[in-house]
């Protein structure tokens, strides 16, 4: 199995829980510092971090798998065709996971899924999207292919690449400058006007933009409430609706 599951680090757990619930996600796992929320496709984890910590408001690119050893074997077998071995099992005393390292030096984890089924009560139109920003988009795309992600054609013809995961969610590669980094957002396969009205009625600040390949909602980021003007925290969270290919 392969499911998209980024991890978002935040000191503002309650506002994030409210936003994700209003988006139509369902909380499926909870402990003192950790929450997991299911969308119709894909999953998002929240990890509490103290306010002011460097990672407050940041997101780790990540996926879930079923059998870690088999995932690593298949990933490295596919990578051998291009002369790479991107997957390395993490020692059991550290945690049940596999570290994936791209040719640009960007690394992330594939964790063993705590529960495999997607919650049927989540909004079926909502998909979790994890984004890999890098100067070497071709190599990043190759790494995702080695993991078993399925290429999804995009309407434009630039350095972007989109992939779907068999068990839910979308992985994107986007050009970026400097060290590779991660981000996340959502896609919505439904009426964005209805979603905008629902979020607005729940008290969230929402705007909408028209773009070349679809419309995007921008919802106020809970982490930006107390963030400094020069903070790495983005002011909004994006939820996009792509136009059909060829539109």
Q: Examine residue 209 and state whether it is found in any structural domain, yes or no.
A: yes
Q: Examine residue 70 and state whether it is found in any structural domain, yes or no.
A: no
Q: Examine residue 84 and state whether it is found in any structural domain, yes or no.
A: no
Strand (E) positions, the chain?
Answer: 2-4, 7-10, 26-30, 34-38, 43-48, 59-60, 62-65, 87-89, 97-101, 107-112, 126-134, 150-152, 161-164, 170-175, 181-188, 206-211, 214-220, 236-242
Q: What is the CATH number of the domain that holds 203?
A: 3.10.180.10
Domain count, the chain: 1
CA atoms lying within 13 Å on the CB side of residue 191: 4
Task: Give the per-residue pLDDT at 192.
Answer: 95
Task: Give the per-residue pLDDT at 84.
Answer: 83
Domain that holds residue 132: 2-63+115-242
pLDDT at 153 over 80: yes
Asked whether the beta carbons of 239 and 216 are under 8 A apart, the reply is yes
Tokens for 31?
């402990």
pLDDT at 110 over 80: yes
Task: Give the per-residue pLDDT at 245.
Answer: 43
Task: Give the per-residue pLDDT at 239.
Answer: 97
Q: Examine residue 158 and state whether it is found in any structural domain, yes or no.
A: yes
Of 135-144, 226-235, 237-246, least confident by mean pLDDT is 226-235
**Which tens digit of pLDDT belongs to each residue from 114-151?**
877 778 899 999 999 999 999 999 999 999 999 999 99
């Amino acid at each position: 199995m392969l499911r998209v599951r980024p991890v978002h680090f935040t000191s503002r757990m309650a506002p994030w829980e409210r936003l994700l619930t209003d988006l139509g996600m369902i909380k499926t796992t909870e402990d003192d510092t950790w929450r997991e929320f299911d969308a119709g496709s894909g999953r998002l984890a929240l990890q509490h971090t103290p306010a002011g910590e460097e990672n407050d408001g940041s997101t780790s690119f990540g996926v879930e798998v079923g059998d870690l050893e088999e995932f690593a074997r298949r990933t490295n077998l596919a990578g051998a065709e291009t002369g790479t071995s991107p997957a390395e099992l993490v020692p059991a005393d550290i945690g049940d996971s596999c570290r994936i390292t791209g040719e640009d030096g960007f690394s992330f984890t594939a964790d063993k899924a705590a529960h495999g089924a997607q919650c049927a009560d989540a909004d079926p139109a909502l998909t979790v999207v994890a984004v890999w920003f890098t100067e070497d988009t071709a190599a990043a795309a190759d790494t995702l292919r080695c993991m078993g992600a399925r290429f999804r054609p995009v309407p434009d013809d630039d350095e972007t690449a989109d992939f779907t995961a068999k068990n839910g969610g979308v992985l994107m590669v986007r050009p970026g400058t400097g060290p590779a980094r991660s981000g996340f957002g959502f896609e919505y396969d439904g009426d964005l006007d209805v979603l905008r009205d629902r979020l607005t009625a729940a008290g969230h600040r929402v705007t909408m933009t028209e773009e070349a390949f679809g419309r995007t909602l921008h919802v106020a980021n809970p982490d930006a409430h107390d963030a400094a003007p020069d903070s790495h925290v983005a002011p909004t969270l994006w939820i996009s609706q792509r136009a059909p290919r060829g539109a």
